[in-house]
Amino acid sequence: MRRQLLCSVAAAVCFLTTLLGMIACEQKAAAPVKAPPHYDHVTSPVGTDQNILQRTFSVKTSYVVPFEIPPHAVSPHLHGLFTSFVGDVHGDSGSAANLDFLVLNEDQYGDFQHGRPSEALFSVEGSHNQAVNFDLPASMDQPVKYYLVFRSSSGENKKTVEATFKVDF
C-alpha cells in the first residue's frame, strides 16, 4: 500500500510538474498588430517640381491652363512670368497688351466659366509683364486642380503671350 501511495504521489508530482512546465512555456497570444495610419505609407512630392506652362500662345478673350497638385504636397509654390504683346511676339508691349492673370481653384473656375462673379486665389489686373510667386494651399490626401487664366483686359486686339510657369513642392 505504501508503494502504491508513493507511486500515486510520484505520478501526481510528475503530472503537476509537466502541467506547470506547459503553463510556463505557453506563450501568450500576441496582440493583433494595428495597421499604421495610411499617411505612414505616403510618398511625398517634397523636393520635386512640375512644369505647368512653357509656351507662346494667342489670347483673344481668354486662355486657360489647368494643372494639378499631387496629394500630400505640404507647401506647393507657383512661380513664373509672362509677357504679352499686341499682335505678334515682340510687338507692342505697352498698355494695349495688358492682360488679367488669375489663379483659380475648381469652384472659382466653375464660376468663371458661367460668368458668375467670384474671387481668385491670386490675380493681377492689367499687366503686360509680370513675375508671379504664390504659395498654393496644401493638397492633403487628394490631388487638387487649379487653373491659370489669361484674360484680355482691354481692346479687341489679339494678344500674344510668352509664359513660363512651374510649381515646386
- Is 144 among the domain residues? yes
- C-beta separation of 142 from 67 below 8 A: no
- C-beta separation of 38 from 160 below 8 A: no
Q: pLDDT of the chain along its 169 residues, tens only?
A: 555 544 555 555 555 455 555 555 555 555 555 555 544 444 556 678 899 999 999 999 999 999 999 999 999 999 999 999 998 888 777 888 999 999 999 999 999 999 998 899 999 999 999 999 999 999 989 999 999 999 997 767 789 999 999 999 8
- Is 157 among the domain residues? yes
Q: What pLDDT does residue 69 have?
A: 95
Q: What pLDDT does residue 93 have?
A: 79
Q: What is the CATH number of the domain that holds 120?
A: 2.60.120
Q: What pLDDT does residue 22 have?
A: 57
- Is 30 among the domain residues? no
Cα separation of 83 and 139, whole Å? 29
Burial status of residue 148 (CB atoms within 10 A of its CB: 0-12, 13-18, 19 or more): buried
The total domain count for the chain is: 1
Q: What pLDDT does residue 167 have?
A: 97
C-alpha cell of residue 151: 484674360
Cα separation of 57 and 63, whole Å? 8
- Is 20 among the domain residues? no
Q: Please state whether beta strands 62-69 and 77-86 pair in parallel, antiparallel, or not at all (unpaired).
A: unpaired
- Is 83 among the domain residues? yes
Q: Which residue range forms the structural domain that includes residue 58?
A: 39-168
- Is 2 among the domain residues? no
- Is 11 among the domain residues? no
Cα separation of 68 and 52, whole Å? 9
- Is 162 among the domain residues? yes
Cα separation of 9 and 71, whole Å? 72
Q: What pLDDT does residue 27 have?
A: 52
